[in-house]
Amino acid sequence: MEDQLEGAARVHEFLIASFVPEEKWNDFDKAGSMWQLYLVNDQNERVAPVEVRRGRREDAVTPHFFPYVTPWKSVYTVRFPYNILTTDEPIIEEDTKEIKLVITSVLGTAEMDWKLK
């Protein structure tokens, strides 16, 4: 529990599952990937991930808690910094009403929104 609380104070973590039609495009975790990921708040401030790690689909826990994970999708854990690097202020403040996860490349952009209030 202590480790989980300490981690939550340093990063915001997302689990994403993606399908891309070309295997060579499935490189979210690679340096120089064609994909850019951002966490954006309602003030249009954004942070890039500090870590993108490819996950495994084989365990019994992941599909139970994340039913959108299927054998045809790749799973990644994405960790964003708790604070904006330029201001050292939290990306998600007490009065933040909305955040979004942006995944973008020359192929297109996807945005997922969460209402916080």
CATH topology for the 2-115 domain: Immunoglobulin-like (2.60.40)
Query: Could you tell me if 83 and 91 are in contact, meaning their C-beta atoms sit under 8 angstroms apart?
Result: yes
Q: What is the pLDDT of residues 10-58, one digit of tens each?
A: 899 999 989 888 989 999 999 999 999 999 999 999 999 999 999 876 6
So where are the chain's domains? 2-115
Query: Could you tell me if 11 and 80 are in contact, meaning their C-beta atoms sit under 8 angstroms apart?
Result: yes
pLDDT of 1: 72
The rounded distance, in Å, linking the Cα atoms of 72 and 82 is 31
Q: Is residue 95 predicted with pLDDT exceeding 70?
A: yes
Mean pLDDT of the chain: 89
